[in-house]
Amino acid sequence: MAGELFIGLMSGTSLDGVDVALVTFNEGQSNEVPAPNVLATHLLAYPQTLRSQILALQHPTENELEVTALTGNMLAILYADAVHQLLANMQISPDKITAIGCHGQTIRHRPEMQFTLQIGNAALLAELTNITVVADFRSRDIAAAGQGAPLVPAFHQAIFANQLESRAIINIGGIANITYLSKNNSVIGFDSGPGNMLLDAWIKQHMGLDFDADGAWASTGKVIAPLLSAMLAEPYFASPPPKSTGRDLFNDAWLTKKLSGENYQPQDVARTLLELTAQSIYNALLVDCGEVDSAYLCGGGARNTLLKIRLQAMLAPTKLDITDALGIGADWVEAIAFAWLAKQCIQQKTANLPQVTGAKGARILGAIYQH
């Protein structure tokens, strides 16, 4: 399948938009190491109404089944628009694309109850794009007693592992997750806790902004030590991998409970939330991973200057960089990963790592909606 075109679609817990990547994979003679060649990328922002609807669906709501289905249709239309825009920019026709890998939008993630739900109506997306769609990647792993997440460590291992150094790939989206790639070829991967999610919601509430660019607002505050301690006391942080999390745990209600009615300055809470992200990542590396020779950031948090400064200070003298230094743009790693996951499914190759998710074994991931 060398030279075939795949599209990866990713819309994560940050709810900022749809990342799209057009990729080919040069797999080499061994047919094992997929070197991605990124031909184009595109970002299509979420309309505010859709973002609000998705946020509302994070909790039980009136007429929930119908609202979820209709929101899934809206997402499919948005995904299709994003694909059409990218293909138009590249002057490529849909029939040249082997498949789209679509993560979908997570509404519930409850592996402890043996289910996960990502919406986006993959059947409608296939119909609107005239391209085969691979979706629902998490469910097969959960059916095999796994967490269903994170799924990208297998991709990280394929493209970022290095026999000369042990690397940590730290994706900071709404949730932060870590892939530890030991130079002896072992892999550890898990969600470390909140990434941008709580800070994004806090600055939206107090400043009307979607995110804290460069950590500028948080930098005007100071860390509230008792609040940070209360947040870090959350049992999730102390639980060992395999583990995964999301808005089901780290949400507005969780933060409100931790605030305990205290009248903290909003910018101090913002600074403390940023410190929570940095500290929980650092603690996870220290406790759950081996020696780290170098660490690389990706996701939206990789662009947060203050967060990077705090992580570098904690990790010193370990080198900290963004994945651009490894040849993959920090903003596009996950979209490229889902193009790779689609390729794995189409080729009938396994794509989960049981040691990461806790599944009973390696499984082929994804449901195929054939064009």
Asked whether the predicted pLDDT for residue 205 surpasses 80, the reply is yes
Percent of residues, the chain, with pLDDT higher than 90 = 93
Q: What pLDDT score was predicted for residue 26?
A: 80
Helices (H), the chain: 48-56, 64-90, 122-129, 138-143, 153-160, 197-207, 225-232, 235-238, 252-259, 266-288, 305-315, 333-346, 354-357
The band of 31, judged by pLDDT with boundaries at 50, 70 and 90, is very low
5-148+332-369 and 153-326 in the same fold = yes
State how far the Cα of 325 lies from the Cα of 132, in Å rounded to an integer: 33
Q: What is the pLDDT of residues 307-356, one digit of tens each?
A: 999 999 999 999 999 999 999 999 999 999 999 999 999 999 999 999 99
Mean pLDDT of the chain: 95
Per domain, the residue ranges of the chain are 5-148+332-369, 153-326
Packing angle of the helix pair 266-288, 197-207 (nearest 10 deg):
180
Q: In this predicted model, which residue has the larger pLDDT, 12 or 207?
A: 207
Rounded to two decimals, the pTM is 0.94
Q: What pLDDT score was predicted for residue 118?
A: 97
Closest CA to 12 of 278, 254, 280, 299: 299
DSSP, residue by residue, 273-293: HHHHHHHHHHHHHHHHS---S
Looking at the DSSP assignment, which residues form a beta bridge with residue 20?
9, 42
Domain 153-326 CATH assignment equals 3.30.420.40: yes
Q: What pLDDT score was predicted for residue 13?
A: 84
Q: What is the mean pLDDT of residues 142-163?
A: 96
Packing angle of the helix pair 225-232, 252-259 (nearest 10 deg):
130
Q: What is the pLDDT of residues 236-257, one digit of tens each?
A: 999 999 999 999 999 999 999 9
Q: What is the mean pLDDT of residues 80-105?
A: 98
Q: What pLDDT score was predicted for residue 34?
A: 60
Q: What is the pLDDT of residues 9-19, one digit of tens each?
A: 999 888 889 99
State how far the Cα of 49 lies from the Cα of 55, in Å rounded to an integer: 10
Q: What pLDDT score was predicted for residue 3?
A: 78
Quickly name the fold that domain 5-148+332-369 has: Nucleotidyltransferase; domain 5 (3.30.420)
Q: What pLDDT score was predicted for residue 32?
A: 53
